Chain A
Amino acid sequence: MPDGLFTFFAALTLGAALLLVLSRNAVTSAMGMILALVGIAADFFLLDAYFLGVLQVLVYAGAVMVLFLFIIMLLDTDDAVGAYPWKTAALGLATFFLLGAGVLWLFHWSGAVSAAPAGATPPEFSANPAEFTTAAKSFGRLLYTKYLLPLEIAGFLLLVALVGVVSLSKDAPEGQA
């Protein structure tokens, strides 16, 4: 049996995700999304990935979701009134149950996943850069050595995204609005 904290946060996360998927109101969906992200961040903490947990809350639940809320308020569009076509509903249910069953089989019944416990609490910092450690500086160490090129590319990607957003959010050309 998993421990209580994990059970609690897993249930919270799944419930919030359900709210996100099922709610008619986009703002409620966004609230569900925020809750789900906080739940995932809590799971990060349970996995001793404190830095990532904080990052998740700051970047995702904070910045990104605020952006979403802004856009939702700006566009102010709920789902169209009226029932879902039964085809769509059936498709959704079928997808969820098929995929859920696949996940359960793959990770639980198939026995492919090792049931070994996580082992001792990881150290805060270690001389071996590849070892799982909790301090933020162990991220920095890898980012500036082994993952330097991906880091540069990610920075460049952010720049490109910035430029893209600026050019996208300019007014539409005349006659095409």
Chain B
Amino acid sequence: MSPDFSSLVHWILFLPLGAALFIALFLRRAGAVAAWLSTGVAFALAALALRLLTVGVGDTTWHVELAKLGDISLGFGYLIDANARLMLFVVSFVAAWIHLFSVGYMRDDDARGRFFGGLSIFMFSILGIVVADNLLMTFVFWELVGFSSYMLIAHYFDKDYAAEASKKAFIVNRVGDLGFILGIAFCLAHFGTLNFAELGALKPAAGWPWVLGALLMCGFIGKSAQFPLHVWLTDAMAGPTPVSALIHAATMVAAGVYFMARIAFLLTPDLLQLIAVSGAGMAALAGLCALAQTDIKKSLAYSTLAHLGIMGCAIGLGRPDLAVLHMAMHAFFKATLFLGAGSVIHGCHHEQDMLKMGGLARKMPVTTAAFVAATLSNCAVPFLAGWYSKDAILEAAHASNLYLFTLLGLAAVATCLYSARMVRLVFFGPANSEAADHAHESPWTMTAPLVVLGLGFSVAAGFAADALIPAAALARVAEPLRAMTFHATSAATIVGLVALALGALAFRYYGRAAGVDSLRVDLPRFYGVLEFRWMDTVYGWYVDRVQRRLSEFLAFLDLLLINGVAVRWLGAGVPAVLGYLTGRTLHRGQTRLYALSLVVGTLLLAWYFLAR
């Protein structure tokens, strides 16, 4: 271990916290200063992360014990392994460009100080998860991520939908986190340690109990928006677009995948199977649902759900390395897509309805180029970034289970369909509204990130990985990256090419009529099924019918038994009976009589217990 390793991680971790505190304390009114401070810190972080990546390649740890309760040691420490290096690079690098984008996007916002403070605290939280070396520290930062995402989603808190969306994200995440903390307690009770390295060294004779993995998985399901706790992700679009980019691309949802990769050794085969099936199923369904969204950000959110499903499936297939690789590639192109959407929304004066856009290719050439590049990467066009990870997962699925492969293939087709639809509706054809007609290209602070992430990384992060990404970050995923070659005859490639062909057809299909959704015209019922929010309806029914009835019943019991029988009846009944027996009321309004009866009663009780 090199001597400056831990201090470097200290800097990476606490620099954003310092920035956030400084902004919160002094710069709430000075939005412009806060914006550049936060952005500067983000780029400094990226530089520090690069420096850390050049320091060493092996696993490094650093730990300090904070409290020792009996045999339980609670500590704070870093575990930098290959996964952490890749995640560190992706998070700090992508986030830095998102910060720069935000400078332009939020230029007219009154609460810029709060926004950039929130971004910095978000960076602190997510980096904490990345470097954490034990479950409890992970959990603490996990909750901090929940808090900061709540704060960022609710940026426009005076709008009802934003306030409700942030509340929803927070509460749904708590459901998953309940499992997480129970898992921590379980782990502590059975194995006596929370440290990843120590847990990894343990080899329980009877294998890892499936309960532990299942409980910890709950946290992943909530944070990474896996079925059935995926409902918050689409609503979280209420936040400013850079927040969506940060949450969906680089950080929050990736945290769950990263965490699963870190504790992959705890998962039993049954659990893996479950994750794989639910992930693949969600990938296919969410991809189709994206077809029935007119809001550009919601459509992208479903696309994120689909990719998260693919990552979940990769973990379930026992290939966490592929999941982490896809997480990194997805971070590049999905960040670009969201930033592109942000640029479009900014250019169209906050119009988010895709049906009201159109023809932006001529007015916003840079945005269009980056968006299209990222879309092609998203569709896994061979040799673009997305292809390296997505096709690898498809191959892995094909090798293990045909059903999973079918579902993932469906997801790939759906991806191409909604991508074609999105590009066609937004950038081509005639302008369908006043706002789209008067669209303008965004300033350099917004286009620069688009160029770097979209035209650079979304395209080339696969075949030019060695040039773009530090070697230390690639250690874990280098093998699958190098192993990807183009076999025209492999099943995954065939499915991918068919999907691309279908995407091209969809591009023509959606070009037929302007201002309307062709699918909605042709197959209204199918469209309606896709648009309907099934799980939200189920939760609504559950909360309204089951949970509320139960709580009303409990409230009634409380009123009847506690208030009525135990308190009122005893409180009124006993004095009444005694008063009747003694011929006068006990309530004489004299404190000392109450005190005296208290003493006498206590003495009688003491006598009873002593004499027994």
- Which A residues lie at the B interface, using CB under 8 A? 88, 91, 95, 144-145, 148
Residues of B close to A95: CB separation below 8 A: 596, 599
A residues less than 8 Å from B592 (CB atoms): 88, 91
Chain B residues touching A, range: under 10
Whether B596 and A91, one on each chain, are in contact in the complex, defined by CB atoms closer than 8 angstroms, is: yes
Having A95-B599, A144-B69, A145-B69, one finds 6 other A-B pairs with CB under 8 Å, namely A88-B592, A91-B592, A91-B596, A95-B596, A145-B70, A148-B69
Task: Give every chain B residue within 8 A of A148 (Cβ-Cβ).
Answer: 69
Q: 8 tightest A-B contacts by CB? A: A145-B70, A144-B69, A148-B69, A145-B69, A88-B592, A91-B596, A91-B592, A95-B596
Compute how far the CA of A40 lies from the CA of B71 in the bound complex, rounded to whole angstroms. 37
Give the Cβ gap from B598 to chain A, nearest Cβ, in Å: 12
Q: How far is the CA of A91 from the CA of B592 in the complex (A)?
A: 10
**Which B positions have Cβ atoms within 8 angstroms of A?**
69-70, 592, 596, 599
B-side interface mostly: helix
Q: Report how far A95 CA is from B603 CA in the complex, Å.
A: 12
Bound Cα distance A95, B600 (Å): 10
| Minimum CB–CB distance for A139 against chain B, Å | 16
CA distance A145 to B596 in the complex (A): 40
Q: How far is the CA of A91 from the CA of B596 in the complex (A)?
A: 9
**A144 CB contacts on chain B under 8 angstroms:** 69
Give bound CA distance, A145 to B70, whole Å.
6
User: Closest CB-CB distance, A111 to chain B, in whole Å?
Assistant: 15
Q: Chain A interface secondary structure, helix, strand, loop or mixed?
A: helix
Which residues from A are CB-within-8-Å of B70? 145
A95 to B70, CA, bound (A): 47
- B351 CB to nearest chain A CB (Å): 48
Closest residue of chain B to A146 (Cβ to Cβ) is B70
A36 vs B463: C-alpha distance when bound (angstroms): 84
In the bound complex, what is the Cα–Cα distance between A88 and B595 (angstroms)? 13
- Enumerate chain B residues within 8 angstroms of A145, measured Cβ to Cβ: 69-70
Question: What is the bound-complex CA distance between A94 and B599, given in angstroms?
Answer: 13
Nearest Cβ distance between residue A93 and chain B, in whole angstroms? 14
List 9 A-B residue pairs with CB atoms under 8 Å apart, sorted by A's residue number: A88-B592, A91-B592, A91-B596, A95-B596, A95-B599, A144-B69, A145-B69, A145-B70, A148-B69
Nearest residue (CB) in A for B71 is A145
**Alpha-carbon distance A88/B70, docked complex (angstroms):** 54
Instruction: Determine the distance from Cα of A91 to Cα of B599 in the docked complex, in whole angstroms.
Output: 13
A96 shortest CB reach to chain B, Å: 12
List residues of chain A with CB within 8 A of the CB of B69: 144-145, 148
The residue in chain B whose Cβ has the minimal distance to the Cβ of A148 is: B69
Question: When chains A and B are docked, how far (Å) is the Cα of A91 from the Cα of B597?
Answer: 13
**Cα separation A68 to B592 with both chains bound (whole Å):** 21
Report the separation of the CA atoms of residues A144 and B71 in the bound assembly, to the nearest whole angstrom: 11
A95 CA to B592 CA, complexed, in Å = 12
A95 to B595, CA, bound (A): 12
Q: Could you tell me the distance in whole angstroms from the C-beta of B75 to the nearest C-beta in chain A? A: 16
Q: Least Cβ distance of B590 to chain A in Å? A: 10
CB closest chain-B residue, reference A106: B610
- Residue of B with least CB distance to A145: B70
Q: Give the chain B neighbours of A91 by CB distance below 8 A.
A: 592, 596
A110 to chain B, nearest CB (A): 11
- Which residues of chain A are within 8 angstroms of B599 by Cβ–Cβ distance? 95
- Chain B proximity of A103: nearest CB distance (Å): 12
Distance in angstroms between the alpha carbons of A95 and B602 in the assembled complex: 14
Bound complex: CA of A88 vs CA of B593, how far in Å? 10
Q: Kindly provide the distance from the CB of A95 to the nearest chain B CB, expressed in whole angstroms.
A: 8
* Cα-based distance from A148 to B70 in the complex (angstroms): 10
Residue of B nearest to A88 (CB): B592
Contacts of A88 in B (CB 8 A): 592
Complexed CA–CA distance, A88 and B592 (Å): 9
Nearest B-chain residue to A98, judged by Cβ: B603
CA separation between A145 and B69, bound complex, in Å? 6
CB distance from A142 to the nearest CB of B (A): 11
What is the minimal beta-carbon distance from A47 to any residue of chain B, in angstroms? 24
The smallest beta-carbon distance between A60 and chain B, in angstroms, is: 22
Query: Which chain A residue shows the least CB distance to B593?
Result: A91
Bound Cα distance from A164 to B599, whole angstroms: 27
B510 to chain A, nearest CB (A): 60
Give min CB distance, A25 to chain B, whole Å: 20
Smallest CB-CB separation from A102: which chain B residue? B603
Using CB atoms, name the residue of chain B closest to A112.
B610
Nearest CB on A from B325, distance (A): 44
A95 to B597, CA, bound (A): 12
Contacts of B596 in A (CB 8 A): 91, 95
The closest CB in chain A to the CB of B70 belongs to: A145
C-alpha gap A141/B117 in the complex (Å): 41
Distance from B341 Cβ to chain A, minimum over Cβ atoms (Å): 46
Chain B nearest CB: distance from A75 CB in Å?
17
- Please, how many angstroms separate the alpha-carbon atoms of A118 and B599 in the complex? 32
CB distance from A100 to the nearest CB of B (A): 14
A158–B562 Cα gap in the complex (Å)? Answer: 27
B229 to chain A, nearest CB (A): 31
A145 to B599, CA, bound (A): 35
B87 to chain A, nearest CB (A): 35
Q: How far is the CA of A88 from the CA of B596 in the complex (A)?
A: 12
Q: Residue of A at shortest CB range from B610? A: A106
Nearest-neighbour CB distance to chain A for B245, whole angstroms, equals: 40
Q: How far is the CA of A145 from the CA of B68 in the complex (A)?
A: 9
How far is the CB of B527 from the nearest CB of chain A, in Å?
Answer: 54
Question: How many angstroms between the C-alpha atoms of A33 and B498 in the bound complex?
Answer: 91
A112 to chain B, nearest CB (A): 10
Question: A145 to B67, alpha carbons, bound, how many Å?
Answer: 11
Nearest CB of B to A19, in Å = 21
A88 to B591 CA separation, bound complex (whole angstroms) = 12
Cα of A148 to Cα of B599 in the assembled complex, Å: 32
| Beta-carbon nearest neighbor of B599 in chain A | A95
A21 to B301, CA, bound (A): 74
Give the Cβ gap from B393 to chain A, nearest Cβ, in Å: 46
Nearest CB of chain B from residue A102's CB, rounded to whole Å: 8
Chain A proximity of B429: nearest CB distance (Å): 62
How far, in Å, is B221 (CB) from chain A's closest CB?
Answer: 30
Residue of A nearest to B590 (CB): A88
Chain A's nearest CB lies how many Å from the CB of B407? Answer: 48
The smallest beta-carbon distance between B12 and chain A, in angstroms, is 32
